[in-house]
Structure 1
C-alpha cells in the first residue's frame, strides 16, 4: 500500500487548513469575545456598574 497521499487529497487538506486557520478560528474567537462582552453588558444593565 502506498503511504503518500494523493495530490488531490493533499490540496484538499491544505485548503481545509487555510480555511480553519485564517477564516473559521478568527471568526470564532471574535464571536466568543463579542458574546462575552455582550453578556457582561446585559449583566451590568440589571446589576449596575461595578462598585455600586
Structure 2
C-alpha cells in the first residue's frame, strides 16, 4: 500500500506547501473573488439598464 505522502516529506517541504496554499488563498480571497463579485454585480446592473432602455422602466401598466 502507499503510505501517507505527508509523513514522508521533510518538514521544510510541508511548510513550503502550506505557505503556498496560504498565499493562494489570500490571492483568491483578496484579489480574485472581489473582482469577480464586482464584475457580476456590474454586469447585472448593465443588463437591467439595457433591458430598461429597450422595454422602458418598470411601473404600472399603461391603460
TM-score tier (shorter): 0.7 to 0.9
Which consecutive aligned stretches of 4+ in structure 1 deviate over 6 angstroms post-superposition? none
- Identify the residue that residue 9 of structure 1 maps to in structure 2: 17
Equivalent residue pairs, number: 52
Segments of 5+ residues of structure 2 without an aligned counterpart are none
RMSD value, Cα? 1.9
Larger Rg computed on CA atoms: 2
Structure 1 segments unaligned to the other structure (5+ residues)? none
TM-score, scaled relative to structure 1:
0.86
TM-score if structure 2 supplies the norm length?
Answer: 0.72
